[in-house]
Amino acid sequence: MFKAFGYGNWDIGAHFLKLVLVIVFLSAVIGTGVGVWLWSEVTKIYTAFYKFPLLRYAVIKSDRLTAGWSAADHQIR
């Protein structure tokens, strides 16, 4: 249908690429938020059930960057 309105191949490809990138970005943000929340809740359950003397939950910025690069590297290969 885009071709019927005079759009070229690159314009059509760019349009769909933008749609995919929006979906990927929103999914990554929502998935990270839910994952961090779930990790926190599971840590609380383990601490209460197993009575660990010290079990802290923390998200470190470098861990998030490492995970992101690792995921990106896996997709490229």
14-28, 45-59, 63-77, range with the lowest pLDDT: 63-77
Q: What is the mean pLDDT of the chain?
A: 78
Q: Whole-model pTM?
A: 0.57
Residues 25-43: tens digit of each pLDDT: 999 999 988 988 898 888 8
Burial 21-45 (b: 16+ CB within 10 A, else e): eeeeeeeeeeeeeeeeeeeeeeeee
Q: Averaged over 42-68, what is the pLDDT? A: 69
Total H helices, total E strands in the chain: 2, 0
DSSP state of 2: T
CB neighbours (10 Å) of residue 5? 7
